Amino acid sequence: IRKGFYSQTMKNFVISEILYWVIALISLYKTVTLWGIEPQRAYLFLGFCILSVFMALFRRHYRKKFTKRKQDN
């Protein structure tokens, strides 16, 4: 693997991880604001929040795994 390619891939992993956290925060905000007004939409945004947190943690796990693999080689 080329060195430039690896660093760009890691940047993409970090950026996507941050984006998932941002989506989770926005979804959590929408959940709180809609809770008393429209419970159905609030549950939908709560689901998005949970999914985004899971995806961010999943990305972080694989980013660390790839970094460790790169350091071992």
- The pLDDT confidence band at residue 71, using thresholds 50, 70 and 90, is confident
Dump pLDDT digits (tens) for 1-45. 556 666 777 788 889 999 999 999 999 999 999 999 999 999 999
Mean pLDDT within 51-62:
94
Rounded Cα distance between 73 and 36, Å, is 54
The helix-helix angle for 3-34 and 39-72 (nearest 10°) equals: 160
